[in-house]
Amino acid sequence: MGGTRALAALILAISISGCSDEARPITVGSKNFLEQILLGEIAAQHLEHRLGQRVERKLNLGGTLLIHKAIVNGDIDLYPEYSGTSATVILNLPPFNNADDLSAQVRREYEARFHLRWFDPLGFNNTFAMVIRKADADRLGVRSLQDAERHPFGWVLGMGYEFQQRLDGLPNLLRTYALPLRGTPKVMDLGLLYRALEQGDVSMVAANSTDGLLLSLDVTVLEDNRNCFPRYDAAFVARNQTIAREPRLAAALQDLSGKFSDDTMRRLNHQVLVLHGSVEDVANEFLRTSGLLKEP
Residues 102 and 238 in one domain: yes
Is 61 part of a structural domain of the chain?
yes
Is 19 part of a structural domain of the chain?
no
Residues 162 and 105 in one domain: no
Which pLDDT does position 97 carry in this prediction?
Answer: 67
Is 150 part of a structural domain of the chain?
yes
Residues 95 and 216 in one domain: no
SS (H, E, C) the chain: CHHHHHHHHHHHHHHHHHHHHHHCCEEEECCCCHHHHHHHHHHHHHHHHHHCCCEEEECCCCCHHHHHHHHHHCCCCEEEEEHHHHHHHHCCCCCCCCHHHHHHHHHHHHHHHHCEEECCCCCCECCEEEEEEHHHHHHHCCCEHHHHCCCCCCECEEECHHHHHCCCCHHHHHHHCCCCECCCCEECCHHHHHHHHHHCCCCEEEEECCCHHHHCCCEEECECCCCCCCCCEEEEEEEHHHHHHCCHHHHHHHCCCCCCCHHHHHHHHHHHHCCCCCHHHHHHHHHHHCCCCCCC
Last residue in a domain, options 196, 221, 246: 221
Residue type, 205: V
Is 13 part of a structural domain of the chain?
no
Which pLDDT does position 293 carry in this prediction?
Answer: 83
Residues 159 and 282 in one domain: no
Which pLDDT does position 17 carry in this prediction?
Answer: 44
Residues 176 and 201 in one domain: yes
Is 201 part of a structural domain of the chain?
yes
Last residue in a domain, options 190, 221, 252: 221
Residues 6 or more apart in contact with residue 114 via CB below 8 angstroms: 71, 72
Which pLDDT does position 295 carry in this prediction?
Answer: 60
Residues 121 and 205 in one domain: no
Residues 110 and 29 in one domain: yes
Residues 161 and 31 in one domain: no
Domains identified in the chain, total number: 2
Residues 80 and 113 in one domain: yes
Last residue in a domain, options 221, 254, 280: 221
CATH number of the domain that residue 166 is part of: 3.40.190.120
pLDDT digits (tens, 9 = 90+) for 237-251: 999 999 999 999 999
236: burial class by Cβ within 10 Å (0-12, 13-18, 19+)?
A: buried
CB contact at 8 A, 72 and 66: no
Is 9 part of a structural domain of the chain?
no
Which pLDDT does position 20 carry in this prediction?
Answer: 47
Is 208 part of a structural domain of the chain?
yes
Is 20 part of a structural domain of the chain?
no
Can you give the residue range of the structural domain that contains 209? Answer: 128-221
CATH number of the domain that residue 85 is part of: 3.40.190.10
Please state, as a whole number, how many other Cβ atoms lie within 10 Å of the Cβ of residue 275. 11
Distance of alpha carbon 244 from the chain centroid = 25
Residues 111 and 239 in one domain: yes
Residues 135 and 216 in one domain: yes
Residues 68 and 211 in one domain: no
Euclidean distance between CA atoms 254 and 10, whole angstroms? 40
Query: Which residues, given as ranges, of the chain have pLDDT below 50?
Result: 1-4, 6-20
pLDDT digits (tens, 9 = 90+) for 144-167: 999 999 998 999 999 999 899 988
pTM of the model: 0.85
